[in-house]
């Protein structure tokens, strides 16, 4: 079985400051890793994913995440946040193989960007 821990329920940060949202997972098998974002009154949207290859993955809007297998982590970072980045961010994993459809989510981190 898999589980995902997002220790920070809310992260307040000032505009243009850097931010890191933490994600740790537990699994007895290899996993794929994802970050989803949920803006107010909208559905979850995939931000970025790690399937294989380079452990550093990037999104089109400046976020990046690095897969660290030894620390079982997949932290999300952005060097300079905007007001529009205010949203809820969910880390998720799915087991490699036939059950890769089954996303297991963390409890989410609310990013609050202040002017």
Nearer to other proteins, 43 or 115 (CB): 43
CA-closest candidate to residue 10, choices 22, 18, 27: 22
Closest distance between other proteins and the C-beta of residue 49, in Å? Answer: 7
* Interface segment toward other proteins; rule CB under 8 A; list 19-27, 61-69, 76-84, 88-96: 88-96
The CA R_g of the chain, rounded to the nearest whole Å, is: 14
Closest distance of CB 114 from other proteins, Å: 22
- The answer to whether residue 65 forms part of the interface with other proteins (CB under 8 A) is no
Distance CA 113, CA 97 (A): 38
Q: What does the longest C-alpha to C-alpha distance in the chain come to?
A: 45
């Amino acid at each position: 079985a898999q589980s995902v821990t997002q220790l920070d329920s809310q992260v307040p940060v000032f505009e243009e400051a850097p931010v890191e949202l933490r994600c740790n997972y537990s699994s007895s098998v290899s996993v794929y890793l994802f970050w989803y974002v949920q803006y107010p009154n909208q559905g979850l949207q995939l931000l970025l994913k790690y399937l294989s290859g380079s452990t550093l993955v990037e999104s089109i809007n400046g976020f990046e995440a690095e897969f660290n297998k030894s620390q079982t982590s997949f932290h999300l970072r952005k060097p300079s946040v905007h007001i529009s980045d205010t949203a809820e961010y969910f880390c998720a994993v799915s087991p490699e193989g036939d059950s890769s459809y089954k996303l297991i989510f963390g409890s989410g981190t609310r990013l609050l960007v202040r002017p």
